[in-house]
Structure 1
Amino acid sequence: MNVFSPSFFLLSLLILTPLSFLTLPFTIKLCGRAIGWYIRSRTSSRRELLLSRAEAEEKEYHAKSPPNGDEEWERVESYTAGSDTNGEKGSKAWSGVIGFFHPFCNAGGGGERVLWAAIRATQRRWPEVLCIVYTGDHDVDKNQIIDRVRTRFNIHLHPPKIQFLYLSTRRFVLASTWPHFTLLGQSFGSLVLAYDAFNLLVPDVFVDTMGYAFTLGFSKFLFPDVPTGAYVHYPTISTDMLGSLDEGGHGVNAGQGRGYRGVAKRQYWLAFAWLYSFVGGQVDVVMTNSTWTQGHIRKLWGPRRARRKKVFETEAVFPPVAVEELEGAIDVSKESEKNRGKYLLYIAQFRPEKNHQVILDAFAKFLHVQQGSSQEKPKLILIGSVRDSDDATRVYKLRLLAHELKIKDDVEFICDASWPQILDWLRRSWVGVNGMWNEHFGIGVVEYQAAGLISVVNASGGPKIDIVVDVDGQPTGFHATTPEEFAHRFGKALSLSSDETLAMRLRARASAKRFTEDAIVIRP
């Protein structure tokens, strides 16, 4: 047969096409490893440079050691003490590089507290390890970030063993970049961001502490030998999200499952859930921040992780909260009741999902019922960090809403509060509020309880399942869903007798002891 004849070409195509489909997965894997090898080889010089810089900073840091007895120095240097127990210095001085993927590391929220607590725990257990943080916060340098960690969270880190690598593609994970198909777009954007990160440095262990699961699958594609870990605050998609599309659902997509658009949205979410399960099944070590998140991740990632023979079970590791510090700084007794005012405190980043508008509406309804009362007029205090111009615009709109509801003089906004400011408000306030539907955990709610506040929280997620639970058969706070329910619970929390109030505060504080600042340790 003539090799140039159409018949020969057709016969060859029929033979090679099935063969090519059979070898396609192997070819893709081979391409991934080749790209990974190239990236690792071209970034090896930066790795040596960063290790040398850390060594030089270590020498300089110790040369500036203050006199013995300096309390601040002792706190920073505590990472060098301990034996081979959880959270303390290990018996083997492993000296690799752990990369923490957290593009918004300077945001100042509960997710960032987990990141810094994880780095502090790593420094205590493995003091020779170099911790790399991949961030897109170009407007701040290393010293500014570490200073904010100390003032915002009261977490003291060892600076020489932390380096920041600045990403230039963070815009690809912003929701504003993807006005349509946002979930898929942000997930694709995270791959771009991860590629940016790996081209800066390939770590020995890669950890995502922000929820970009696709970056972990991408890491496995390029570097199969690099262990991966995920600390999941909130599943990118869940069965609750799918349920929210139904009539009477909750969240920003409530009731949007009707019509052809609703059907298309549901199918899109189902397809994305499959992708999310696929990449999640490749993660080596998975931790979640609450029982609620654990349940969803086990359902989504569990079957694929089992098929891939991942030996570590998905565990719920509650975020570390400064419970002991709050107990030491804030008294809860009959005497301390004199220092508390009728303040309702809501500590939450100014993001859409935090439902500040619901709380403002509920507070307006509550004040309307209280009109004419001779008691002290309550005040709502909103404390939160402002990450960018979108958050700043959101605060402005919330101020306008307070004005429209005629409660602007009864609401105070405090942006980017320091830890001492937060402590002061926790010491002075009466009620702690959380309005987010399906809040994954709720560090702020634990802080309320540790400070002795009476919590009024959304009847869902971590605050309901893990935190505001009964102690000895007695409540530690109240649950609500609608503005009307929140308004009613505000009234109940503020109208308890003095004995009932103190008893509930003490139960709440006892409940908070379950969430102490135990170390999170990354095992190489």
Structure 2
Amino acid sequence: MLVTVCIAGAIAFIAVYREIRRALCQAFGRKLMQRVAQRKADIYEKVGVVPKIARTVGFFHPYCNAGGGGERVLWTAVKSVQTDFPNVISLIYTGDAVSSEEALGRVKTTFEIELDASKVIFVPLKLRFLVSPSVWPRFTLLGQSLGSMVLGLEAICRFAPDIFIDTMGYAFTFVVVKEFLNIPVGAYVHYPTISSDMLKSLKKVSLVGKVKGAYWKWFAKIYSQAGRHANFVMTNSSWTQNHIASLWGKDINLSVVFPPCNTSELEKVDIFHPREPNLLYLAQYRPEKNHEDLLRSFALYVQQHPESPAKLLLVGSVRNETDIKLVESLKGLAQDLKVFEKIEFIVDAPWPKVVEYLGTCSVGVNYMWNEHFGIGVVEYMAAGLIPVVNNSGGPKFDIVIPWIGKPTGFHASTVAEYAEAYHKALTLSPQEQQEMRVNARSACARFGEHVFMRDFGDVFAKLLREVYAKD
């Protein structure tokens, strides 16, 4: 009898505690909304939107000035909102210490995206260091996730939005936003924080391996619970969708929205003119892009075919001192591999220069394992390069696939396979080259910027309807 009473008491305490916690959080959330109400009204009046239907959407993107594929998604999403929902103001939650003029200027030069600056408000985040992996040398996944919750709380405290959309993969922010504001939450997922591939790859023979395996399984469980707080979830590829569905559940509102690729401009590139026999790798200078093995595969190709005039062009952006050091280490590796004279290292090239490289090189390379999508690969194909991509992730399942029954490129996994693929791509007959270039470009119609804006706009309209339904 006593045990039963104790159990019942414990359950009652937990239930009451949850209700008290929820009531306190919602009260604090109402205060946040009240505090920002006048600020919103002033903005609406200044911009000239219709106050009755005007709303704010907060894009959570702490590294909005990085200049990569994720940032193209962010800014094209903002463009979609400005185009189809003119009474919505976009808030950008970011830790980048840049002015709005500087940030939007870089958006224009890097992505050729021009935005109405009056409808974009940058909300500075002082606690971004909490999501940096360097702050969490141990239990990095958990540390960054907890840090993102604090950062998410800072974001809504600085400016509480009407809709919250995470575009960087910080699923744990959903819990905070829902708990305090209870507003519609959207997510654009580039890559799951943890995946079934990670769980399968872990060797659990040793005690450390077993402990790590248990930790990853537990983290996957709480990651799933956090993700389910989102009202609508967009993924950038079928590979990502399958992993998110397996983790967050197949009953969530989940759809594939391919990331925007600037194919319209690249399709103007003449694919029939002669090209230089060069390889191009468009990728940010980050460890996961696997530049080291790329250099080794190119060195092997040069060793096997010393008569080849091919050069390798590395084109990418850097975010910080760590990325700059990576570029220097790659130069050292190229020296060691005796291919430094055949490689060009290009940092932070403006978009017109990137287009120039895309119009003159013959082969486009992707070397990242399980790349969530691969915008660079689409850009290769639209510009007429023959892609050599990793045999995994988005490049394998969504992009470099047969088009009307004909090949659009090559897949590879190992250093040796890549070297062989370079040789095959560079030694195709002129007729085979042209046929593959035409097939590849035709396959890119699925990934245009207008397609992304249409599909993102459809999801955003559902989020907006939920806001209006509550009012």
TM-score computed with the length of structure 1 as normaliser: 0.83
Q: How big is the shift at 1:132?
A: 0.6
Q: How big is the shift at 1:17?
A: 4.1
1:363 maps to 2:298: yes
- Structure 1 pair 430/93, CA: closer, same or farther in 2 (3 Å)? farther
Counterpart residue type for residue 154 of structure 2: D
Q: How big is the shift at 1:317?
A: 0.6
Measure, in 2, the Cα distance between the counterparts of 1:11 and 1:239. 40
Measure, in 1, the Cα distance between the counterparts of 2:146 and 2:52. 37
Q: Which residue of 2 aligns with 1:274?
A: 221
Q: Deviation per CA, 1:28-62, whole angstroms, max 9, x where unpaired?
A: 2222212222333334444345445545xx9xxxx
RMSD over equivalenced CA pairs, Å: 2.0
Q: How big is the shift at 1:404?
A: 1.1
Q: Deviation per CA, 1:131-188, whole angstroms, max 9, x where unpaired?
A: 11011111x2111111111111111111111111111011000011100100000001
Measure, in 1, the Cα distance between the counterparts of 2:312 and 2:158. 45
Q: How big is the shift at 1:430?
A: 0.5
Q: How big is the shift at 1:514?
A: 1.4
Q: Which residue of 2 aligns with 1:62?
A: none
Counterpart residue type for residue 134 of structure 1: Y
**Structure 1: gaps (5+ residues):** 1-9, 59-90, 247-256
1:345 maps to 2:280: yes
What pairs with 1:43-62 in structure 2 (closer than 5 Å)? 43-55=36-48
Counterpart residue type for residue 242 of structure 1: L
Measure, in 2, the Cα distance between the counterparts of 1:414 and 1:145. 21
Measure, in 2, the Cα distance between the counterparts of 1:347 and 1:275. 35
Q: Which residue of 2 aligns with 1:130?
A: 89
Measure, in 1, the Cα distance between the counterparts of 2:412 and 2:66. 28
Q: How big is the shift at 1:12?
A: 10
1:489 maps to 2:421: yes
Measure, in 2, the Cα distance between the counterparts of 1:43 and 1:279. 26
Q: Which residue of 2 aligns with 1:298?
A: 245
Measure, in 2, the Cα distance between the counterparts of 1:262 and 1:397. 31
Q: Which residue of 1 aligns with 2:16?
A: 23
Tell me the percent identity.
46
Q: How big is the shift at 1:475?
A: 1.1
SS at match of 1:199: helix
Q: Which residue of 2 aligns with 1:36?
A: 29
- Structure 1 pair 18/211, CA: closer, same or farther in 2 (3 Å)? closer
Q: Which residue of 2 aligns with 1:331?
A: 270
Q: Which residue of 1 aligns with 2:130?
A: 172
Counterpart residue type for residue 212 of structure 1: Y
Q: How big is the shift at 1:473?
A: 2.1
Counterpart residue type for residue 167 of structure 1: L
SS at match of 1:474: coil
Give the paired residue count. 454
Counterpart residue type for residue 227 of structure 1: P
Q: Which residue of 1 aligns with 2:195?
A: 238
Which moved further from structure 2: 34-43 or 274-283? 34-43
- Structure 1 pair 277/94, CA: closer, same or farther in 2 (3 Å)? same
SS at match of 2:234: strand
Q: Which residue of 1 aligns with 2:467?
A: none
- Structure 1 pair 440/14, CA: closer, same or farther in 2 (3 Å)? closer
Measure, in 2, the Cα distance between the counterparts of 1:190 and 1:487. 41
Q: Deviation per CA, 1:308-344, whole angstroms, max 9, x where unpaired?
A: xx5xx3000101111111112x0111xx12xx11110
Q: Which residue of 2 aligns with 1:193?
A: 151
Q: Which residue of 2 aligns with 1:379?
A: 311
Q: Which residue of 1 aligns with 2:469?
A: none
Q: How big is the shift at 1:505?
A: 0.7
What pairs with 1:139-158 in structure 2 (closer than 5 Å)? 140-158=98-116
Measure, in 2, the Cα distance between the counterparts of 1:509 and 1:11. 69
Measure, in 2, the Cα distance between the counterparts of 1:18 and 1:116. 47
Measure, in 2, the Cα distance between the counterparts of 1:287 and 1:401. 39
Measure, in 2, the Cα distance between the counterparts of 1:266 and 1:426. 43
Q: Which residue of 2 aligns with 1:445?
A: 377
**Structure 2: gaps (5+ residues):** 465-471
Could you say which structure has the larger radius of gyration? 1
Which moved further from structure 2: 398-407 or 172-181? 398-407
Q: Which residue of 2 aligns with 1:262?
A: 209
- Structure 1 pair 331/488, CA: closer, same or farther in 2 (3 Å)? same
- Structure 1 pair 327/118, CA: closer, same or farther in 2 (3 Å)? same
Q: How big is the shift at 1:391?
A: 0.8
Q: Deviation per CA, 1:408-465, whole angstroms, max 9, x where unpaired?
A: 1111111111100100000000100000000000000000000010000000000000
Conserved? CA contact 2:318–2:324, under 8 Å: yes
Measure, in 2, the Cα distance between the counterparts of 1:93 and 1:200. 23
Measure, in 1, the Cα distance between the counterparts of 2:355 and 2:377. 14
SS at match of 1:456: strand
Q: Deviation per CA, 1:469-499, whole angstroms, max 9, x where unpaired?
A: 0122221100001111111101111111111
SS at match of 2:402: coil
Conserved? CA contact 2:45–2:51, under 8 Å: no
Measure, in 1, the Cα distance between the counterparts of 2:280 and 2:8. 71
- Structure 1 pair 18/479, CA: closer, same or farther in 2 (3 Å)? closer
Conserved? CA contact 1:323–1:512, under 8 Å: yes
What pairs with 1:210-225 in structure 2 (closer than 5 Å)? 210-224=168-182
Measure, in 1, the Cα distance between the counterparts of 2:132 and 2:383. 35
- Structure 1 pair 202/487, CA: closer, same or farther in 2 (3 Å)? same
Query: Paired residue for 1:117, among 76, 101, 105?
Result: 76
Q: How big is the shift at 1:266?
A: 1.0
Q: Deviation per CA, 1:230-278, whole angstroms, max 9, x where unpaired?
A: 00000111101112224xxxxxxxxxx4411111111111000001100
Measure, in 2, the Cα distance between the counterparts of 1:300 and 1:292. 13
SS at match of 1:155: coil
